[in-house]
Structures are given as structure tokens and as C-alpha cells.
Chains A and B, each alone.
Chain A
Amino acid sequence: MTPLLELRGVEVGFPVRGGRVARAVDGVDLTVEPGEVLALVGESGCGKTTLARTIVGLERPDAGEVRFEGEPVARRGGALRAFRRRVQMVFQDPAGALNPRQTIYEAVAEGLRIQKTPGNEEELVAQALSRAGLRPPERFFRLYPYEISGGQRQRVVIAGAMAVGPSLLVADEPVSSLDASVRGEILELMLGLVRETGVSILVVTHDLGLAWNVADRVAVMYLGRIVEIGTTEELLGDPKHPYTAALLSVVPEAGGREPLILSGETPDPTRIPSGCRFHPRCPLYASGEAARLGIEERCRGEDPALAPARGGPQLAACHATALTEAAA
């Protein structure tokens, strides 16, 4: 089966003061299958939002390739418009994503008009609102964003994105601005859309609990690179990369794990460490475990690629977990 979305060696950099380049996305390979929910997880500054923006075409990769339904993403013309209809983005803050002077009807209809979606506009808007749980839809047509609640606003944003019939929804922290008791309903809505329409969702989040709630697979990003990827059960049940293990250990909801608190903060993406980019903060490296395994040199000097991790089907970019049983 052709993946819906395929990224190969994607790099995105931003020039910063002093002539340096922040390598926000630094060599990412990733696929999203039809009907799949993939969570892209990482801390702020790891490049996850830049990667999401690159996928929907808001940033252009400096290197590498983004393929959608097997074809390179078009840069212009009708093919680009078709791509924009097939890939929709849902932003973090629904209050900011909606025009305060536009009615709910207009907010949803706008995308339909831009995309020249065939069919009766009013019916399509009503259908989209209703599918997003805003029922009866006619009751919402003439309301303005300030007249509805935060959870309802996010439903309107999702309705607008879904109205044009996308096959991929890229959602950047879709519930982080909502109250905890409201989040579940929005996540439930997203899972329902996957079941009913077969849309794929790439959800960008810092929240591992959210991944456990909705994702089929999880990709963990650190300093512009995916350091571990696998099914949600594999990755959150038995993390292989020491960064994933540390992230998981500090989540209060993970319960019972001894917290492994890394010192310092994510380094500056203009100065990505040599070798394994995680080695300056890596507990295996710091504790001497890497030296005991005889890989310390490689941690400092050799950039590890994603490879099958020992004892688990997931892929991890770590010299220690890539060791075969015999070598260990």
C-alpha cells in the first residue's frame, strides 16, 4: 500500500542572527498511512511544529522530499490547490484561528469557496457542523465565535477543515488550550472522524497521555530528528530510546516509574551536538553505561540512524539500543 504521506530526509532551517542556521527539522523520514492517527511528540523547540507546517506546505524543505499519495507535492497550479484541499491543518488556539467578525457559517463556508468545493454550500456547511457535533447546525450559522465556548470553537475549526473533504488532518496541539474536562470530547470527535471518513490525522503534541488516548503510532522528536517511532503500545509500553524513557518517566500519569529527570534543557538548534545529538544529556552516557558497552566514542562522533531496537519492534536512533544481542 502506498503511504498517504511520505517524508524522506526532510530538512528545514531558519537563518538566525550571526549568520548561523537553526536546523529546526534536520533529516526526517516519516510515513502516515491512510486512516492512521500518528502522534508526533516532543518538547518545545524540537521542530515538531515546523515539521507539521512543512507537511501542509507552509514551509518549504531545504532538502529532502515530501510525497503525498505517492506524488511529490506540487508547487503551483491546480495540483497545488488539490493538495491543499486534501491536507488541512487545525491550529492550537481556536480563538485565534477564527475571525472574530465572521459568523460560524462564514468560517466554515470560506474554505469551501476557496477550494471551489462542488455541491450546495449550505448543505455542506450544515453537514460539516453536524459531523463536528454542533447540532442542530442551523442554530450555529449566525453565531459569532465569542458567542460559543472554547470547546465549540475548536469544533468549528475542525468542521471547517473537514468540510473540504481532506484525507489528512494535521492538528497542532489541538486541545492544549482547552480545559481538561473539555479535551476528551474533542479527542473523541477526532477519533470518530477517522472511523467515519477514513481521514488520517497527524497530531502534534507534547502530551504523551494524549498519544495513549488516540494514536495508532507515536514518533518522538528531539532537536529536529525523530529518535524513536513505533506503535503506541510498543513505544509507551517499553520505550527504547533513553530520551523517550525519560520523557515517559516524568509524566505523572505514567505512574510507578522512577522519574528520570534530565538536567538542562533542549539545546539550541543552531548548535546541534556532534555524534548522537542527545549524548550531552543522555543518562546512559552520563552514567558510564555507554562506556561499559564500548560505544562512548560512537555516541560522541557518530550520528545514529533509526534502526530496529533490541528487544522491541520499534525503531530507535541510539547506539546502545541498536546493539545486537550478541554484541551486547
Chain B
Amino acid sequence: MSAAPRPAAPLLAVRGLAVTYAGSGGGVPAVRGVSLDLAPGETLGLAGESGCGKSTLAGAILRLLPRGTAVTGEVLLDGEDVLAMRPGRLRAVRWTEASIVLQGALHSLNPVQRIGAQIVEAIELHEPRLGRGAVRARVAELLELVGIPADRASDYPHRLSGGQRQRVLIALALACRPRLLIADEPTTALDVMVQAQVLRLLARLQEELGLAVLFVTHDLSTLAAVCRRIAVMYAGRIVEEGPSDEVFRAPAHPYTRALAAAFPVIGDPAFRRHPSGLPGDPPDPRELPSGCPFHPRCPLAQPECPDVDVRLRPAGAGRAAACVLVEPA
């Protein structure tokens, strides 16, 4: 399970990404220097709690952040820096190279347009030379791909259940055959059974289409089940990264350990009548604690932690963690 050699050319390479939102009384640093790689066909899970910067990172990859947001670093998609792209090139890359499925499936579709027409629109915008018959065939194929009968194309979104709408959004994201899918909390508002259906669908698509998937969620246990690798974010940085089952089962960073323990293993006596959490709340990006930003909540905090701005360091084969207690292997 360990130390598979990194493929030489990642599909997505994020280098030293920093994002600062404009705010009254100074900028709000939401992402503070993140680097990550995603190989073609690979799945990477990005976990973290509210305010950790995970959705900002996802949005920055396709430049979907509000105007006035300062973004520095590099987002290399197949070697080309998205942050340096001209608007025309960026429009072409969105949908055809990389697309995004956002949380809140109930509100992302146009309520007064039939779902088939919404998919047609996306295809025609990017492939204007495709004939009408070919477009219609693609729509049918996409709906079937996500498990919705093609004849539902003439339905309006309100005719569909929450799970079906989320499937339509996935079909929409795949309309122009991207190689990278960014899924930001794609199952959060759904019931557990429907969530399982959508996760199984994403896993199947990833395999059949050779998609690379960046999966963003607060639910570490879901990531462990669907992603090969996990990166855990806290206060705008990645604090731990590695193969998902190792990170989930044997976390190296105290924050990951606490987060993993917050998802009880049913049947495990250690969790029975023993909920596990951390004091305090995730920090406000406007008022980050000094040194290691996790130190005020850390059960293992050392005297030097308020002063040391600790960066990711190797923590075993294919693993890294940002904690002074991690001894480089």
C-alpha cells in the first residue's frame, strides 16, 4: 500500500498557493501556502472543518473566487498555469480540462430550464461544431452514465429528488469530458443511502473514464472509503498527507488523530459511550494563533509550539505531517 512512485507528470500540480480574501480591516488569509499533486486517474481527498480553506483551494484551482481576492503561487493543469491564463483560454479549460461539482445540489440547477437543455447548453458552448443529433446522443449517454433514464431529459429540476439532482450536476460536469473533476462536498446534503449511491457512482466514473478526482469534504470517514490519498487541512495549510487508510487508521498529526476519532467506529468498544472531541473551535482565519495554529487545541502541545511555524515534514513512506512531534523517518 505504501510508496508507489509518484508519476512524473501530474495532471494537477498546485505550488505554494496562497489565497487572501479582501476584507474590511485587512485581508483574510484563507489558504496560506499549499502544494499538492494529482496524477491522471488518481483520487485525492481534501479534508478539513469549516474555515480551513478547503473550498477556497478548490475554487482557486479554476479561478472561481470573488474579484479582489489575492491569489499567488501556481496551479499547473497539465503543465499550464491556470492563474496566468487569459480569459478565453480559461473558459476553454473549464469544463473541457477540469470541472467542478459544488455542494448544494438543490440550488445549482436552473429551475426553469429542462435538465437536458442545461446539459446541451454546456456542450454547445464548448463544442459549437457538434451536430444537433450528436449533442442529443451525448446528453442521453451522460444521463445514462449517472444512472438517470435518458427520457428524464425533458424534466425540470423540481421533478427530481435531491439525489437525482446531484447526479444531473455530475453529468453536467462531465459534459465536455474533463480529465479532472473537483467535487466539493458533493454528498453533504444527501441522506446516507443516497450519499452511498452517489459515492459509488463517482467511484465507477473515476474508474471507467480514468478521471482524476479531487474530493473536498469535512467527512474524513467518507474520504477514507473513496480516496487513495488524503490531505488534511487546518487553518489554511495542509497539516497531514498520505495514503488514506494509513492517515485514517494511524494519523501522524494530533489534529488528524482528533478528527478521525470524531467519527466513531460502530462496534468498536473504544467509542462506546465515549464521544471524542477537541476543546474550542477551528480558528477564525482573521485571528490565527501564533506558531502552530493548532497549538491552543492540541492535547500534545509542547512549550515551543506557540513560537514554531512548523511545516510539513516527512512522516514515513509517502506521508508527511506538520508537527514538531513528528520525527523524520
A209 close to chain B: CB less than 8 A: yes
Report the minimum CB–CB distance from A47 to chain B (whole Å).
14
Cβ–Cβ < 8 Å partners of B49 in chain A: 179-181
- Is B281 in contact with A149, judged by CB distance below 8 angstroms? yes
User: Which B252-293 residues have a C-beta within 8 angstroms of A?
Assistant: 255, 258-259, 261-267, 271-282
B108 close to chain A: CB less than 8 A: no
A250 close to chain B: CB less than 8 A: yes
Cβ–Cβ < 8 Å partners of B280 in chain A: 149, 151
Report the minimum CB–CB distance from A214 to chain B (whole Å).
6
If over half of A's interface residues share one DSSP class (helix, strand or loop), that class is named, otherwise mixed; here it is helix
- Is B277 in contact with A182, judged by CB distance below 8 angstroms? yes
A237 close to chain B: CB less than 8 A: yes
Write the chain B residue with the least CB distance to A152.
B281
In the complex, which range does the number of interface residues on chain B fall in? 35 or more
Write the chain B residue with the least CB distance to A37.
B273
Cβ–Cβ < 8 Å partners of A266 in chain B: 191
Cβ–Cβ < 8 Å partners of B161 in chain A: 265
Stretch from A49-57, A124-132, A254-262 contacting the other chain: A254-262
Known: A149-B280, A182-B277, A250-B195. A212 touches B272 (CB 8 A): yes
- Is A44 in contact with B196, judged by CB distance below 8 angstroms? no
B194 close to chain A: CB less than 8 A: yes
- Is B282 in contact with A179, judged by CB distance below 8 angstroms? yes
Known: A181-B277, A183-B275, A250-B193. A236 touches B200 (CB 8 A): no
A221 to B163, CA, bound (A): 20
Write the chain B residue with the least CB distance to A148.
B281
- Is B221 in contact with A252, judged by CB distance below 8 angstroms? yes
A183 to B258, CA, bound (A): 11
Partner of B266, one of A179, A181, A188, A212: A212
A151 to B161, CA, bound (A): 32
User: Which A253-275 residues have a C-beta within 8 angstroms of B?
Assistant: 253-255, 259, 261-263, 265-266
- Is B192 in contact with A250, judged by CB distance below 8 angstroms? yes
Cβ–Cβ < 8 Å partners of B196 in chain A: 250, 259, 261
Partner of B258, one of A181, A213, A252: A181
Report the minimum CB–CB distance from A242 to chain B (whole Å).
12
Cβ–Cβ < 8 Å partners of B50 in chain A: 179
User: Which A195-252 residues have a C-beta within 8 angstroms of B?
Assistant: 206, 208-210, 212-214, 232-233, 236-237, 246-248, 250-252
Partner of A181, one of B192, B225, B267, B282: B282
Binding site for A on B (CB under 8 A): 49-50, 161-163, 191-197, 200, 218-222, 224-225, 255, 258-259, 261-267, 271-282, 297
Nearest 4 CB-CB pairs, A to B? Answer: A184-B277, A187-B275, A250-B196, A149-B281
8 chain-A/chain-B pairs, Cβ below 8 angstroms: A150-B281, A180-B218, A191-B273, A206-B191, A209-B271, A233-B272, A254-B267, A265-B161
Using A149-B280, A179-B49 as known contacts, list a sample of 17 further A-B pairs with CB atoms less than 8 Å apart, ordered by residue number in A.
Answer: A43-B192, A180-B218, A180-B220, A182-B281, A184-B275, A186-B277, A187-B277, A208-B266, A209-B265, A212-B264, A212-B272, A214-B273, A233-B272, A247-B193, A250-B192, A259-B196, A259-B200
Binding site for B on A (CB under 8 A): 43-44, 149-152, 179-188, 191, 206, 208-210, 212-214, 232-233, 236-237, 246-248, 250-255, 259, 261-263, 265-266
